[in-house]
Structure 1
């Protein structure tokens, strides 16, 4: 499993355990998102502090998570991103779509306000 999931009071904290989010594990990540959503959880934080590589398959999986939350009237936030992943998101102009925070606590604050 590429991620560890912790169900909190009103959101799920998903911490990537794999150093990569790519075609080798993005489908499994999408399945994790679907399972969380099926439990009625519409707010998710993706902690990427352990991930140092992401490609288009990984970005696609992140966008699926974001869309799943939004479609269910919830929120999605990323935290702990390595600079290489921030650059990828910025170059792809996804920084206008995705909520990026510096830390889990910043993401938790965002969730509590929205």
Structure 2
């Protein structure tokens, strides 16, 4: 699987450099999510702007990342979704479960907002 990881202090950006997120790629991606979570990384931005197609196994890997992030108080943000990928998420009725934004920059802003919201909630 071709991808890049950019670790920052409060979030990590994973850019998938594959046209398809399917059964050949999804297991490696799941493993990467589990490894990052074990390292204590709980805010992920998954940049899918290069991904033109995904199947149920690709969607499953995204849901695993979402569950891992949520379980540690973090956030998964999907960015750059192409039409086919967005259509599968919509058909699966997951657009209300997943955080989807057009750009990585907006994803970064959403993660910072999530941290502020979490801090405010914990003080109540």
> Would you call these one fold, judging by a TM-score over 0.5?
yes
Distance 1:26 1:3 in 2: 12
Q: Which has the larger radius of gyration?
A: 2
**Structure 1 residue 4: Cα displacement:** 1.1
- Calculate the TM-score normalised by the size of structure 2: 0.89
Residues 8-87 of structure 1 aligned to structure 2 (within 5 Å): 8-87=8-87
**Structure 1 residue 2: Cα displacement:** 3.3
Aligned residues between the structures: 114
Unpaired segments ≥5 residues, structure 1: none
Distance 1:58 1:2 in 2: 14
Alignment-derived partner of residue 97 in structure 1: 97
Alignment-derived partner of residue 112 in structure 1: 112
The C-alpha deviation readout for 1:40-94, integer Å capped at 9, x for no partner, is: 1110000000100100000000000000000111101000000111111011101
Distance 2:62 2:4 in 1: 15
Distance 1:90 1:69 in 2: 21
Distance 1:32 1:48 in 2: 15
Distance 1:81 1:45 in 2: 12
Unpaired segments ≥5 residues, structure 2: 115-124
**Structure 1 residue 38: Cα displacement:** 1.3
Q: Is the 8 A contact 1:3 1:29 kept in 2?
A: no
